[in-house]
Copies of this chain bind each other. A is one copy, B any other.
Amino acid sequence: MLTQQAINVIKWDEQGLIPAIVQDNDTKDVLMMAYMNAEALQRTIDKGETVFWSRSRQTFWHKGETSGNTQAVMDIRIDCDADTLLILVEPEGVACHTGEASCFYRMLGDFIKNPVRE
């Protein structure tokens, strides 16, 4: 599916990445946001599970590979200016490494009072 045409028309950033918002297909909760390069998007499509590019570790990151908390891909959408993806998934287990279902489990005000980056 990821033809040269596809690679050409998606608007990758200066690092060759595109942000991918992950949303639960059933509950519609936003679970997390991570980044994909062309190869990660290709692997996501091939596997039918989310694969990201880890900017901190500079490596591919097949979500759930170690935790078992994979995300089965139901739909991939792209926004009007083609610089953000929205991935609809059926998650196996939680999305967040803290054990929370979603990475967005904190209100900004609470975080500022008790600022732990986890």
Contacts and interface: CB of A to CB of B under 8 A. Distances in A.
A117 B80 contact: yes
In the assembly, how many copies of this chain are there? 2
Interface residues of A, number: 42
A106 to B, nearest CB: 6
Given A21-B33, A30-B23, A33-B84, A106 B78 contact: yes
Contacts of A79: 32-33, 103-104
Contacts of A86: 30, 104
Interface string A1-41: 10101100101000000010101000111101100000000
Contact of A96 (B76, B78, B80, B112): B80
Given A21-B21, A33-B19, A115 B76 contact: no
